Amino acid sequence: MAKDTVVLRFDSVSFEYGHKKPILDEVSFSMRTGSKVTLMGQNGAGKSSLFKLITGAEKPSSGRISIDRDAVVALGRQTMPRDELNLTVTEFFAQFFRGKEWELPMRIKDVLEIVNLPLPPLTKKIQEFSGGQQARLLLASALIQDPDILLLDEPTNNLDYAGISHLTEFLIHYEKTCIVISHDAEFLNSFTQGVFYLDIFTHKIEQYTGNYYDVVEEIAKRIAKAQSENVRLERTIQEKKDQANVFANKGGKLRAVAKRMRDLATDLEENKVDVRKEDKTLSAFVIPCREPVGPIVHIKTVSLLTEMGPAIKQVNLTLKKNMHLFISGPNGIGKSTFLEALARGDTDRAEITEGMKVGYYRQDFSTLDFESTVMATLLSAMKEKSEELAYRIAAKFLIPSDLMHNKVASLSEGQKGLLMFAILYAEEPDLLILDEPTNHINFRHLPVIAEALDCYKGAMILVSHVPDFVAAIRIDEVLDLESLS
């Protein structure tokens, strides 16, 4: 496909979910071959909906979406669907491959090399891969389609530093069109050339050149300018209203002057700017615990996946109250498997003191019952089974009341993450086990969550590949699994 060819165009595209739930309002933009942009927007603005419109999974309410007739569009999904976890590697990739069947094994090998994942047995089940390895498989499933337009939805979730570096290098040299949803500024700034900002209030797309930080700063300046202008107008409006009242009370011909003053005040009201509102940010919170005396957990061994195969390594580490342990290591070494073993009480790995309450944040949210309602899920975690209290806890974690009787499956990935923190808040655990707790969470919430974990008084075990997040949390012990292998 020739360089500088318009490969994608939106012409006055509108889209809505149901009645009075607008996502896009007469949005127009175009992209040329080889352009790479970031798609930004607040929670619920419709970023994923925009991707669905490009892939054809959704149709616009009005307007036209034009894609070069020879262009292939592929989406790198942000989460592995639960109904695909039982597929083999071959079955997983066969869903996306349009070539000849005999070519599939070689193409799998090629795309796994691109995402830096060693070729596994093709009969291996998807559920046997770590979260970081599944993230690479999702990206590879898009690349095996040889797309002309590559859509990436939070591609760095679950990736370790090496994985992010490899993906970044690939995208820098990627010669085709790419749109990326991500909150990882350093990652985005390394290869994107501009930003599409989807405004949740106007339902328009604003186009910016420059990097992520430039756009955030420009938006902040626009908000400050709009607020300042509105303050000035409010002052003038009040002055005109006060003058109108004075003239009206004097009666006679001055009543006409009073009317003109009121009309002027009305006109000024209409000139007020609609100030863009950003997402609500979590309020500060504390995860309560009993602060028990004595050992909470004694870690004995860890099971690792090494180049020589599975291996059991001795650890001998005891955590008491107010002790925070950080576990590091590359994707696939066994971090999530180790945390899952601790959470289920595997005595070969660790001894948890009897009576200690364990709170577990699992990166794939599989501890949640997706068929249960949000209300039932919260109530099951609470000591006091009060719906009124459940509503208050949900609101604290920005889960609106109108979702409380919906199934957990209906929540966005970000809302599921906040629900997990609401559950931990309600459980009051003595031992907190956290596996990639930043995945899918709005970046504005992360400093608040980091502060809550920094202040946590129980024993905490944390896995995270987000350096800035970890740096904001007090860490007392580090267990580097790679150094044990």
User: Are residues 40 and 182 in contact, defined by beta-carbon separation less than 8 angstroms?
Assistant: no
According to CATH, what is the number of the domain 295-484? 3.40.50.300
Q: Look up residue 82 and give its amino acid.
A: R
Compare 156 and 434 and report the one with higher pLDDT: 434
User: Are residues 380 and 415 in contact, defined by beta-carbon separation less than 8 angstroms?
Assistant: no
Provide the pLDDT for residue 43: 67
Average pLDDT of span 285-311: 88
CATH class of the domain comprising 6-211: alpha beta
Q: Please state, in angstroms and rounded to a whole number, the distance separating the CA atoms of residues 247 and 261.
A: 9
Average pLDDT of span 328-355: 92
What's the alpha-carbon Rg for the chain, to the nearest Å? Answer: 27
Q: Please state, in angstroms and rounded to a whole number, the distance separating the CA atoms of residues 440 and 368.
A: 16
User: Are residues 14 and 26 in contact, defined by beta-carbon separation less than 8 angstroms?
Assistant: yes
Q: pLDDT, tens digit, for every residue of 83-112?
A: 999 999 999 999 999 889 999 999 999 999
Q: pLDDT, tens digit, for every residue of 24-46?
A: 999 999 999 999 999 987 766 78
Q: Please state, in angstroms and rounded to a whole number, the distance separating the CA atoms of residues 425 and 389.
A: 12
Compare 6 and 247 and report the one with higher pLDDT: 6
Q: Please state, in angstroms and rounded to a whole number, the distance separating the CA atoms of residues 239 and 236.
A: 5
Which whole-number Å values give the CA distances from 393 to 259, 287, 418, in the listed order? 50, 12, 11
Please state the pTM of the whole predicted model.
Answer: 0.74
Average pLDDT of span 353-382: 94
Average pLDDT of span 401-430: 92
User: Mean pLDDT for the chain?
Assistant: 88
User: Are residues 92 and 103 in contact, defined by beta-carbon separation less than 8 angstroms?
Assistant: no
Q: Please state, in angstroms and rounded to a whole number, the distance separating the CA atoms of residues 315 and 302.
A: 7
- Give a three-class secondary structure readout of the chain: CCCCCEEEEEEEEEEECCCCCEEEEEEEEEEECCCEEEEEECCCCCHHHHHHHHHCCCCCCEEEEEECCCCCEEEECCCCCHHHCCCEHHHHHHCCCCCCHHHHHHHHHHHHHHCCCCCCCCCCEHHHCCHHHHHHHHHHHHHCCCCCEEEEECCCCCCCHHHHHHHHHHHHCCCCEEEEECCCHHHHHCCCCEEEEECCCCCCEEEEECCHHHHHHHHHHHHHHHHHHHHHHHHHHHHHHHHHHHHHHHCCCHHHHHHHHHHHHHHHHHHCCCCCCCCCCCCCCCCCCCCCCCEEEEEEEEEEEECCEEEEEEEEEEEECCCEEEEECCCCCCHHHHHHHHHCCCCCCEEECCCCCEEEECCCCCCCCCCCEHHHHHHHHCCCCCHHHHHHHHHHCCCCHHHCCCEHHHCCHHHHHHHHHHHHHHHCCCEEEEECCCCCCCCCCHHHHHHHHHCCCCEEEEECCCHHHHHCCCCCEEEEHHHHC
Q: Which of 476, 422, 461, 458 minimizes the C-alpha distance to 288?
A: 458
User: Are residues 172 and 164 in contact, defined by beta-carbon separation less than 8 angstroms?
Assistant: no
pLDDT beyond 60 at 2: no
Q: pLDDT, tens digit, for every residue of 205-247?
A: 988 887 777 777 777 777 777 777 777 878 887 887 887 787 7
Instruction: Provide the percentage of residues in the chain whose pLDDT is more than 90.
Output: 53
Partners of 207 in the β-ladder: 196
Which whole-number Å values give the CA distances from 277 to 107, 195, 199, 206, in the listed order? 46, 19, 9, 15
Q: Please state, in angstroms and rounded to a whole number, the distance separating the CA atoms of residues 407 and 410.
A: 6
Q: pLDDT, tens digit, for every residue of 445-474?
A: 889 999 999 999 999 999 998 888 999 999
Q: How does residue 277 score in pLDDT terms, banded at 50, 70 and 90?
A: low
User: Are residues 91 and 136 in contact, defined by beta-carbon separation less than 8 angstroms?
Assistant: no
Q: How many CA atoms lie within 13 A of 115 on its CB side?
A: 26
